[in-house]
Amino acid sequence: MENTEHGNVWPGSAYPLGATYDGNGTNFALFSEAAERVELCLFDDHGTETRLELTEVDAFVWHGFLPQVQPGQRYGYRVHGPYDPSNGERANPNKLLLDPYAKATTGHIEWHPSLFSYDFNDPTQRNDEDSAPHAMLGVVINPFFDWAGDRHPRTAYPDTFVYEAHVKGLTELNPAIPEDLRGTYGGIAHPATIEHLQKLGVTALELMPVHQFVHDDTLEQKGLSNYWGYNTIGFFAPHNDYAGNGDLGQQVQEFKAMVRELHTAGIEVILDVVYNHTAEGNHLGPTLSMRGIDNKAYYRLVDDDQQHYMDYTGTGNSLNAGNPHSLQLIMDSLRYWVTEMHVDGFRFDLASTLAREFYDVDKLSTFFELVQQDPVVSQVKLIAEPWDVGPGGYQVGNFPPQWTEWNGKYRDTVRDFWRGEPSTLGEFAARVTGSADLYEHSGRRPVASINFVTAHDGFTLRDLVSYNEKHNDANGENNNDGESHNRSYNLGVEGPTDDPAILELRSRQQRNIIATLLLSQGVPMLLHGDELGRTQQGNNNVYAQDSELSWVHWDDADLSLVEFVAAVARLRKEHPTFRRSRFFDGRPVRRGEGEPLSDIVWLSPEGDAMVPEDWDTPLGRAVGMFLNGQGIRGKDARGERISDRNFIVFFNANDEPVDFVLPSEEFSPSWEVVVDTAGIAVSVEPRHAESTLHILPRSTVVLRAWVEPAPDLDTAVAASLQVLTNSNAANSLSAKTEAE
Could you tell me if 336 and 343 are in contact, meaning their C-beta atoms sit under 8 angstroms apart? no
* Three-state secondary structure call for residue 139: strand
Q: Is the pLDDT of residue 551 over 80?
A: yes
pLDDT per residue as tens digits for the range 300-317: 999 999 999 999 889 999
594 confidence band (pLDDT: 50, 70, 90): low
Average pLDDT over residues 528-546: 98
Q: Check residue 498 and give its pLDDT.
A: 97
Average pLDDT over residues 655-680: 94
Q: Is the pLDDT of residue 640 over 90?
A: no
Q: Is the pLDDT of residue 737 over 50?
A: no
Average pLDDT over residues 671-691: 87
Q: Check residue 683 and give its pLDDT.
A: 64
pLDDT per residue as tens digits for the range 316-363: 999 998 899 999 999 999 999 999 999 999 999 988 888 775 556 665
Q: Check residue 556 and give its pLDDT.
A: 95
Pick from 357, 233, 298: nearest CA to 33: 298
Q: Check residue 361 and give its pLDDT.
A: 62
Q: Check residue 685 and give its pLDDT.
A: 81
Which residue stretches of 63-190 are H helix?
167-171, 185-189
Average pLDDT over residues 37-54: 97
Could you tell me if 490 and 419 are in contact, meaning their C-beta atoms sit under 8 angstroms apart? no
Q: Check residue 684 and give its pLDDT.
A: 67
Q: Check residue 549 and give its pLDDT.
A: 98
Q: Is the pLDDT of residue 479 over 90?
A: yes
Could you tell me if 627 and 674 are in contact, meaning their C-beta atoms sit under 8 angstroms apart? no
Q: Is the pLDDT of residue 726 over 80?
A: no
pLDDT per residue as tens digits for the range 372-425: 999 999 999 999 999 887 788 788 888 989 999 999 999 999 999 999 999 999
Q: 661 φ, ψ to 5°?
A: -90, 125
- Helices 500-519 and 715-739 pack at an angle, to 10 degrees, of 140
Q: How far apart are the first and last CA of the chain?
A: 84
Residue 681 identity (one-letter amino acid): A
Distance CA 217, CA 88 (A): 24
Measured between alpha carbons, how far is residue 148 from residues 256, 259, 419, 594 in Å?
A: 11, 12, 49, 54
Alpha-carbon torsion angle 696, 702, 704, 709, nearest 10: -50
Pick from 116, 134, 126: nearest CA to 284: 116
3 confidence band (pLDDT: 50, 70, 90): very low
To the nearest whole number, what is the mean pLDDT of the chain?
92
Residue 273 identity (one-letter amino acid): V
Could you tell me if 64 and 40 are in contact, meaning their C-beta atoms sit under 8 angstroms apart? yes
- Helices 559-574 and 191-200 pack at an angle, to 10 degrees, of 60
Q: Is the pLDDT of residue 87 over 50?
A: yes
User: What percent of the chain clears pLDDT 90, i.e. is strictly above it?
Assistant: 83
The DSSP result for 41-91, as a single string, is EEE-TT--EEEEE--EEETTEEEEEETT--TT-EEEEEEE--EEGGGTEE-
pLDDT per residue as tens digits for the range 438-456: 999 989 999 999 999 999 9
* Three-state secondary structure call for residue 140: coil
Domains of the chain (ranges, CATH numbers) = 18-140 (2.60.40.10), 600-705 (2.60.40.1180)
Instruction: Kindly list the catalytic residues.
Output: 349, 385
Could you tell me if 75 and 42 are in contact, meaning their C-beta atoms sit under 8 angstroms apart? yes
Could you tell me if 424 and 417 are in contact, meaning their C-beta atoms sit under 8 angstroms apart? yes
Q: Are strands 449-451 and 523-527 parallel, antiparallel or unpaired?
A: parallel
Q: Check residue 617 and give its pLDDT.
A: 83
Q: Is the pLDDT of residue 4 over 50?
A: no
Distance CA 647, CA 628 (A): 7
Structure-model confidence comparison of residues 22 and 732, the more confident one: 22
User: What percent of the chain clears pLDDT 70, i.e. is strictly above it?
Assistant: 92
Average pLDDT over residues 529-533: 98
Structure-model confidence comparison of residues 529 and 313, the more confident one: 529
Could you tell me if 277 and 317 are in contact, meaning their C-beta atoms sit under 8 angstroms apart? yes
Pick from 464, 600, 470: nearest CA to 541: 470
The DSSP result for 317-371, as a single string, is --B-TTSHHHHHHHHHHHHHHHHTT---EEEETTGGGGGBSSSSB-TTSHHHHHH
Sign of dihedral through CA atoms 88, 92, 95, 100?
Answer: positive
Q: Is the pLDDT of residue 730 over 90?
A: no
Q: Check residue 636 and give its pLDDT.
A: 74
pLDDT per residue as tens digits for the range 249-284: 999 999 999 999 999 999 999 999 999 999 999 999
Q: Is the pLDDT of residue 145 over 60?
A: yes
Q: Check residue 2 and give its pLDDT.
A: 44
